[in-house]
Amino acid sequence: MDIDVTAILSLVLGLIIIMYFLFQPKNPNSPPFIRGWIPWFGAAFQFGKAPLKFIEQARIKYGPVFTVYLLGNRFTFVTETEDVLEFLRSKEADLDEAVQQALQHTVSISKESFHQNRSMFFKLMIQQLSSSNLHQFSETLCKEFHEHVEHLGKEGTEDLNDLVRHIMCPAVMKTLFGKNFCPTTGEFERHFQNFDEGLEVGSQIPEFFLRNWGKSKTWLLNVFERIATDIKKDKSSESGSKTLIQHLLDNLHGNEASGYLLLLFWASQVNAILGAFWTLAFILSNPSVYKNIMEDIVSVYGKAGEARIEVFEDNLKKLPSIKLCILEALRLVAPGSIIRKAMKPLKVQNFVIPPGDLLMASPYWLHRNTKYFPEPETFKPSRWEEATLKKNAFLDGYLVFGGGKHQCPGRWFVLMETHMLIIILLYKYQFTLLDPMPKQSLLQLSRVCQPDGPCRVQYKLRE
């Protein structure tokens, strides 16, 4: 009988790797380690069923710090707010190194391009989307919102999430990219939805295993490549103000513009749309809050609901109650994770986190810490009256926009667009919820929570 020596050696080597993986000695200074039993995959199958639920169950079982082996990487979860704030301030916990590979997988930005452009990209977003610079977007955004709100007609019934998306997606796209470069067709929306739904898996697993997702990603990159080419050829901005995308293309090094445009489009859409949806859903499901907000809107704009009202910075300041609702809604549905990479050994409580570990924190669960947010499961906009919002300061422990030096650079734009859209919708229409308030889905980490069921509304023009 012939013996395949190569096959036997491969089998033995595989068994050795498995035995080492399963039975390697534990460092007494390391956090509890959830490794699973399948090499490379680790605990991915258990984790992937409901990531946020997994995190909370692991915290209860293993304590406030624990490590999970997933798809060849060690993810160390930190669940106490004070510890999270500490590592977000640490120079040894790096955001760029934590996200570089994921960006390469999802939007095809190479490692070389990422390191060449990362500083410029972040600084440009901070500058262009700062609170003091929002006036350059507000007039265009308000006009676009009005145009797309008018498509609703006099009355109708629609899922609230879809209603918000169909207004915000094209309006924000035209504001940031320019009115002549808006590809939000039905085909575009289908590919983008497929891309978005597979984004978290696509950031970790080779594209070969995700062919439909990969096709949508390639289709979108081709669209944004054509948009980048057309914008570069367009001369209309030379005599007027430039869009955010034009500023980006003017400063970008290399030939990977399509990846940066897809990244910016995704970042400008997903969390903002969900945030606006949840804010409206919470307002409509709390009659006293809805009544008070309508009284405030009437006090500023009057009773009639058909006119195109101006909603600029001064108008937003006259309606702070809506901003409180936005911040409170985002607290309850915050993204499932903040990520950094340990560059040197980091001490968290009594544990030492080794270099290379991906540090994870979950704003969704941190926002349920009763020390920082009493009655954490209650929608309570009044808690934000204690914050110094005029100075753009949030409540302690509020991490919906991240923390440390790498907070979301678009946070002020997101708050403005959500505030503006809610005013326009509630001024023009009377809304009635037709479904019970949906719960938050615990299936995503990289974005604001999705609703776990329908949320239909009936709307009609206010009299």
DSSP string, 34-57: E--SBTTTBTHHHHHH-HHHHHHH
The pLDDT value given to residue 2: 47
Q: Look up the CATH number of the domain holding residue 109.
A: 1.10.630.10
What pLDDT score was predicted for residue 417? 96
The structure tokens 């006293």 sit at 288
Residue 283 domain-assigned (yes or no): yes
Residue 358 lies in a domain: yes
Are residues 353 and 461 in contact, defined by beta-carbon separation less than 8 angstroms?
A: no
| Order of all β-strands in the sheet with 93-94 | 33-34, 65-70, 73-78, 358-361, 338-342, 93-94
- pLDDT at res. 181: 72
* The one-letter amino acid at 59: R
Q: What's residue 3's pLDDT?
A: 47
Q: What residues make up the domain containing 343?
A: 80-461
Report if residue 390 sits inside a domain.
Answer: yes
Q: Are strands 73-78 and 93-94 parallel, antiparallel or unpaired?
A: unpaired
- Considering the domain boundaries, does residue 18 fall inside one? no
Residue 24 belongs to some domain of the structure: no
Q: Which helix (H) or strand (E) holds 73?
A: strand 73-78
Q: Is 92 among the domain residues? A: yes
Contact 77, 58 (CB under 8 A): yes
pTM of structure: 0.92
pLDDT at 5: 53
Reduced to 3 states (helix: H, G, I; strand: E, B; else coil), residue 351 is strand
Establish if 452 belongs to a structural domain: yes
Please name the residues in contact with 155: beta carbons below 8 A apart, sequence gap of 6 or more.
458, 459, 460, 461
How is 352-376 classified by DSSP, letter by letter?
A: EEPTTPEEEE-HHHHTT-TTTSSST
pLDDT tens, the chain, 463 aa long: 444 556 555 555 655 555 444 445 567 789 999 998 888 899 999 999 999 999 999 999 999 999 999 999 999 999 999 999 999 999 999 999 999 999 999 999 999 999 999 999 999 999 999 999 999 999 999 999 999 999 999 999 999 999 999 999 999 989 988 877 776 678 988 999 999 999 999 998 888 889 999 999 999 999 999 999 988 888 655 545 788 999 999 999 998 999 999 999 999 999 999 999 999 999 999 999 999 999 999 999 988 766 799 999 899 999 999 999 999 999 999 999 999 999 999 999 999 999 999 999 999 999 999 999 999 999 999 999 988 776 678 999 999 999 988 899 999 999 999 999 999 999 999 999 999 999 999 998 989 999 999 999 999 999 8
Q: Is residue 42 part of a domain?
A: no
CB within 8 Å of 146: residues ≥ 6 apart: 308, 424
Domain count, the chain: 1
